[in-house]
Amino acid sequence: MSTLSKNDADQLCINTIRTLSMDGVQAANSGHPGTPMALAPVGYALWQRVLRYDPSNPVWPNRDRFVLSAGHASMLIYSLLHLAGVKAVNDKLEVLDTLAVPLEDLKGFRQLDTLCPGHPEYHWTSGVETTTGPLGQGLATSVGMALASRWMAANYNRPGFEMFDYDTYSICGDGCLMEGISGEAASLAGHLKLAKLCWIYDNNRITIEGKTDLAFSEDVRARFGAYGWQVIHVKDANDLESFEKALATFRATSDRPTLIIVDSIIGYGAPNKQDTHSAHGEPLGEEEIRLAKRSYGWPEDAKFLIPDGVLENFQSGIGQRGKTLRQEWDEKLKGYQKAHPDLADALQRMQNGTLPDGWETSLPTFPADAKGVATRVSSGKVLNAVAQKVPWLIGGSADLAPSTKTFLTFEGAGEVKPGQFGGRNLHFGVREHAMAAILNGLTLSKLRAYGSGFLIFSDYARGSIRLGALMGIPVIHVFTHDSIGVGEDGPTHQPVEQLASLRALPGMIVLRPCDANEVVESWRVIMQSRKPAVLVLTRQNLPTLDRSVFAPASGLAKGGYVLADAADGKPEVLLLATGSEVSLCVSAHEQLTKEGVRSRVVSMPSWELFGQQSQEYRDSVLPPGITARVAVEQGSTFGWERFVGMTGEVIGMTSFGASAPAEQLQVKFGFTPERVVAAAKAQLAR
């Protein structure tokens, strides 16, 4: 390549990206070739000329982040990862001496066990910063990453030691901007004046159904200007110099995020590029690929060709630049460790996912109290205790902190405000979906992030919650107002099916504690876990159980435990419940005991944790020989049959709720000790 001019070398690399993308999609007979072909110059210019990223250490903490929100264009990022020589990383964050995307995996695009799945998957392909696919998610997640950059800088940079100043880039398309989540996220980013965030909008005017004017005719430039963003227009995706100037303008801007609108032609170089379905949603076909390659001056029958000098060009660009920047950072870190050992220790723990020594020492214990306290209130106290010990635990709510009790009130907690990023309290506004995606971005950036709202509105956040579960990252969702106990607000605010829905997510730990001390244990589990978690809490007061009489709340760590038992330890009927219904079962248990019926109360705050226990333990809690069983939960009965069997009874919700005082609703829907006692007796009679 040394004999080529710079422009010719650039074009050769760009066409390599294009042809790899075409060949990968064709080999799979599945995928989207058009966008990678059109955006090859944009991806090349960003990675080769600007991105501060070391392919030999793709987990360097101060690397620039690149998010392909238009995840259907995955062959673009896979080609870039291969050509840049990005190394693979294992689960321990150790860099391996293998490529993140070997050529064989490019050839196996979309096939079983390949490192190149249909859409980019975090933890599956090294160098992929977040899972994308559902449009708009990558954009919203990138806001969390950019916010983390500013937060880390505000809290950990010191004079002479600028440890964090990374930029976050995301490539998006028309579909991403149509999805509501992108508007939520862009609005918040503009409000916060969140610099160091750059969205690159592929303005190709095409969606799967046809031209965008079928359903999308807004002035995107004006829209983002109204959000408070800087907007730059590059009229041709192939104009590398104009695009690089736009990136330079972004990097020089310190008071707002930037949108770069790039006009492109989908399937650039393909003779049939106006056939939008072919260019966007399916392989081009062998004949059209040959014609496209001919237009690039490429060997028409060559497949997955990487011409001599292409890899060397990437190594002399992003490879050398990134390695130099990372080595300079490593040297700076050595000085930082000497000058600020406590801060350096915190950074190390953050990156490794470990907690500060003694983080549990301030966890409260709650005395027995018949009147009790709402679990949202006890959770707020525990959260504040934990956050004082874990300085990188940050979060907020979707405009509901006074109700969810998630505001950090200790001295120095502070708030994130426009242009001020050092605080611990975030205000997401009424934006549940974007909030959950931003939490994903913060968590991917190694912070411990939590967000909160009413359980009913988990529906609004569902897409982002699912992606957090799919990635297996320890994001924390706190949901209050967990049942028909919400009362007069009525069925629009009374969650019924949400618990079952959240439990259905693979890898998600759902916790519904029964009293203040189970809340303490819930936070203990959450903070030590590397899994995503949902904490489900009440608005109404719940009795704080006397743990000298009942089993210790530490049983929560096993998901389910025997809370109260028959005097001889040989029950004849089992009463199972979560959350507010546990105390209901305790009352029923006391009544049954007086009547000579041997019952056992099982608190089951987490089905997921219970399922992880040994069969021996589970059988000790729910003896298989005892088939008389009653489960009680103010939610959908769906799923409880796994614990009560097909002959057990579930007292739950089989309809939506109603608007009335909570006490009246409990009676109307059968959540009373008398109903539980009657159900237990009916089970024994059966």
Q: How far is CA 145 from CA 166, 429, 537, in A?
A: 9, 18, 28
Residue 610, number of CB atoms within 10 A of its CB: 19
Q: Name the token pair of 435.
A: 């909030």
Tokens representing residue 459 in the block: 């529906």
CB neighbour list of residue 483: distance below 8 Å, 6 or more residues apart: 494, 495, 538, 579, 580, 634, 635
* H-state helical runs in 29-160: 34-45, 74-83, 103-107, 137-156
Distance (Å, rounded) from C-alpha 650 to C-alpha 629?
A: 9
Please report which helix (H) or strand (E) contains residue 231, including its range. strand 230-234
- How far is residue 430 from each of residues 149, 225, 460, measured CA to CA in Å? 23, 21, 10
**Taking the alpha carbons of 465, 469, 472, 477 in that order, is the dihedral positive or negative?**
positive
- Amino acid identity, position 43: G
C-alpha–C-alpha distance, residues 199 and 173, integer Å: 10
Active site residues: 432
Cα dihedral angle (205, 211, 213, 218), rounded to 10 degrees? -20
Please list, in sequence order, all residues whose beta carbon lies within 8 angstroms of the beta carbon of residue 467, skipping any fewer than 6 positions away: 130, 131, 134, 137, 141, 437, 440
What is d(CA 552, CA 520) in angstroms, rounded to the nearest whole number? 12
Task: Report residue 506 CA to chain centroid gap.
Answer: 13
- Please, are residues 428 and 43 in contact by the beta-carbon 8 Å criterion? no
Residue written as token pair 């896979």: 78
CA 97 vs CA 56, 88, 102, 104, 259: distances in Å = 9, 7, 12, 16, 37
The two tokens of residue 673 are 């000790």
Sequence-ordered list of residues with C-beta below 8 angstroms from that of 213, at least 6 positions apart, any chain: 205
Measured CA to CA, the distance from residue 552 to residue 58 in angstroms comes to 45
Write down the residue that tokens 């940079």 correspond to: 157
Q: What are the φ and ψ backbone dihedral angles of 428, each rounded to 5 degrees?
A: -85, -10
Q: What share of the chain is helix, strand, coil (3-state, %, to 5)?
A: 45, 15, 40
490 burial (CB, 10 Å; 0-12 / 13-18 / 19+) is: middle
Residue 574 burial (CB count, 10 A): 25
- Give SS3 for 428: coil
DSSP 8-state symbol, 239: -
The answer to whether the CB of 359 falls within 8 A of the CB of 389 is yes
